[in-house]
Amino acid sequence: MRTIELNKRQEQIVEIVKDRGPITGEQIAEKLSLTRATLRPDLAILTMAGFLDARPRVGYFYTGKTGAQLLTEKVGKLTVKDYQSIPVVVSESASVYDAICTMFLEDVGTLFVVNGSSYLAGVLSRKDLLRASMGKQDLESIPVSIIMTRMPNITTCQPTDLLLDVAQTLISKQIDGMPVINNTEVDGEAKMEVVGRLTKTNITKVFVDIANNKIV
């Protein structure tokens, strides 16, 4: 895992605070023969990144954490809503042929099936559609409701779930993606509103953001 990279001046600031903290911004500036205004961006970056902490009327002090530790903490706090994508849905009355076309046009590996009230009814994977395509069946006459995966065999997540936990579920269950849902209740019955999708591609984007230092 790539660590957060500091420039030379930021490394000097960290060393000063580590040796003499708590220490004020003015005192740090004096030791580096710079103005407080010049150091303000560096101190802000170091504080936001977690290398330093600051207390009013006390000053800056070193947190004692390495770049790798800080990055691990940052990743561990990411939630599904930080990386979820727009869901691609089809109606449960749609034909298998229509579902195949939608999957191809939208370039996704999983479709979410919704009922007439737009609540989650099922999930369609590439394997489901491939299986239905075998033989000489009329794909335009077969509704997806016949071949889709239904509850309780659907794995879902919520926007507030930790991204790391969902990634582990994707791996352990060997699935490409899952619907992001909000639980609601209609006439005393539990319903699931589809608000997004979380896939292995979304998880890959986290690694790209780490490489580009976009997680701070």
Fold of 80-208: CBS-domain (3.10.580)
d(CA 177, CA 37): 47
Q: Which residues contact 20 (CB under 8 A, 6 or more apart)?
A: 27
* Number of Cβ within a 10 Å radius of residue 70: 18
Mean pLDDT across the chain, nearest whole number?
87
112-154 residue pLDDT tens: 999 988 999 999 999 999 988 887 788 999 999 999 999 889 9
Predicted confidence band at 180 (pLDDT cuts at 50, 70, 90)? Answer: very high
b/e string for 78-89 if b means 16 or more Cβ within 10 A?
Answer: bbbeebbeebbb
The full set of domain ranges for the chain reads: 8-66, 80-208
For domain 8-66, the CATH class is mainly alpha
